[in-house]
Amino acid sequence: MSQNAITPTREQDFPEWYQQVVRAADLAENSEVRGCMVIKPWGYGLWENIQRQLDAKFKETGHVNAYFPLLIPLSYLEKEAEHAEGFATECAVVTHHRLEARKQPDGSTKMVPTGELAEPFVIRPTSETIIGAAFARWVESYRDLPLLINQWANVMRWEMRPRLFLRTAEFLWQEGHTAHETAEEALEETRLMHRVYTDFLRNHLAIPVIPGEKTENERFPGAVNTFTVEAMVQDRKAIQAGTSHYLGQNFAKAANIQFLGRDNTRQLAHTTSWGVSTRLIGTLIMAHGDDDGVILPPRIAPSQIVILPVTPKPDTRQEVIDACEALAQTLRVQTFHGEPLRVHVDKRDLPGGTKNWEWVKKGVPLRVEIGPRDISTRSVAVSRRDQGPKAKEFIPKEDFLQSVVERLQDIQDGLLARATAFRDANLHKINTLEEFQAFFAEGAPGGFALMHWAGSNEEEDRLAKEMKVTIRCIPLGDTHAEEGQCFLTGRPSTRRVVFARSY
């Protein structure tokens, strides 16, 4: 048996490691439909926690949930040219509404689509257009604004190269859509949700991000401005973990979202949209996982604590299981960040080592073992997922009950600290084209390059094509604001931007 649970290691082959971890942790699997995944209970449990906690933040900031149709009339996509073009190459189209059973000469039956639709429907790749149409009906007066709506849904984008969680043809997400009276208010909404994402990634997923603005090239199709949260994962590549778009009046114009203003004139609303998807789960795996599987931040782990009964002898088995159940009950009364502790007792009749390794691979923050000896000494054996798989601390049960919340928080903080240290160690200020090329050269470690940039869209495109490096974002705030010269054109620049390879 090898030292690590996952083969290959991250060092040997990162993409393959990722796939093996998804499988070993039982998070999801590919389905028979290309590009679509089956999210298994452990993976879906993560999504449920992400969903619940983010949803609470949306509600706190004044949003309400609604649901809009999966199918969008084709004509809706013709209303905003830039938006339509951006998604045109990845749309699944519904053209028929019934099937007819036709007997084949060999006796088998073939189902043949019939009943062609007069107007085809597009399966939503995103819902700006159909929600815009609803907003147009709902908004009449400035008194109807702001309209602050969110929907939890699935969307479909026919991707060429799917990868579990990171890029699937169908994925789950939330999309916020809001309409406002003024540009300032809409822009503030865009920024607010951008901050909500930054905070969620940092404090719930323990992933530090660089919040920033996208360049024109990288913007959402149809947006005036796109804000992004960019994370670094362990192969030093960037991943866009969430976006918040200021749409100006582009979509209001396309969908005719008009209202009668305070001055009694008809005006177009200013809209926003923002979203995060199941890609967060992929980001989480790549940010925290190690060569033994995933490592889950306690705040979003489906089970934060797994109790493993150690039952060496049949005659003490029931006593041990009872002690485990009793401990679980005591723990469930406690709360972590306002939610009752999620505790699971693994009573399956399997060798202890097998069960232990399974939970290591699944990334449970705390594993607790109780055996006959521990019952007599009133102690428990505690293992932390952020330490080695064999590390074990024997502590009095009472002490454990006292300190469990603190321990979970310590793991949560440790993960963030580790990810931040890694990100910072691979974030470099670079000034010249030569250094830039060396930084992203084949075989070089790579990372985030902070560069002065004042090039054109075409020059940015050229770098993307030649070097496979893109501007991930123009960081917000003062941190990277400084005078300098563009590394490519020599033109003056007032701040550094983040260049990186990305997912």
The contact set with RNA (CB under 7 A) reads 1-5, 15, 30, 34, 86, 89-90, 157, 159-162, 166-169, 171, 173, 220, 240-243, 275, 277-279, 308, 310, 312, 314, 351-354, 356-357, 369-374, 381, 392, 465, 468
Burial 296-322 (b: 16+ CB within 10 A, else e): bbbbbbbbbbbbbbbbeeeebbeebbe
Do residues 90 and 158 lie in contact, with contact meaning Cβ atoms separated by under 8 Å? yes
CA-CA distance, 368 to 307, in Å (whole number)? Answer: 5
* Shortest spacing between CB 236 and RNA, in angstroms: 16
Q: Which is nearer to RNA, 392 or 428 (CB)?
A: 392
* Shortest spacing between CB 483 and RNA, in angstroms: 31
Q: Which is nearer to RNA, 139 or 285 (CB)?
A: 285
Q: Which is nearer to RNA, 24 or 450 (CB)?
A: 24
Tokens of 273: 């949209």
Q: Which is nearer to RNA, 169 or 294 (CB)?
A: 169
CA-CA distance, 170 to 30, in Å (whole number)? Answer: 12
* Shortest spacing between CB 485 and RNA, in angstroms: 28
* Shortest spacing between CB 412 and RNA, in angstroms: 24
CA-CA distance, 311 to 289, in Å (whole number)? Answer: 30
CA-CA distance, 45 to 50, in Å (whole number)? Answer: 9
Do residues 207 and 231 lie in contact, with contact meaning Cβ atoms separated by under 8 Å? yes
Q: Which is nearer to RNA, 223 or 257 (CB)?
A: 223
Q: Which is nearer to RNA, 338 or 353 (CB)?
A: 353
* Shortest spacing between CB 490 and RNA, in angstroms: 27
CA-CA distance, 461 to 441, in Å (whole number)? Answer: 18
Q: Which is nearer to RNA, 34 or 143 (CB)?
A: 34
* Shortest spacing between CB 216 and RNA, in angstroms: 12
* Shortest spacing between CB 248 and RNA, in angstroms: 18
CA–CA distances in Å: residue 35 to residues 19, 30, 170, 317: 14, 7, 7, 46
CA-CA distance, 43 to 279, in Å (whole number)? Answer: 12
Q: Which is nearer to RNA, 294 or 310 (CB)?
A: 310
Q: Report helix, strand or coil for 15.
A: helix
Give the containing element (helix H, strand E) for 355. helix 352-362
* Shortest spacing between CB 228 and RNA, in angstroms: 7
Instruction: Assign 3-class secondary structure to 38-64.
Output: EECHHHHHHHHHHHHHHHHHHHHCCCE
Q: Which is nearer to RNA, 104 or 264 (CB)?
A: 104
* Shortest spacing between CB 356 and RNA, in angstroms: 5
How many C-beta neighbours within 10 Å does residue 222 have?
A: 23
Please state whether 338 falls in left (phi above 0), alpha (psi between -120 and 50) or beta.
Answer: left
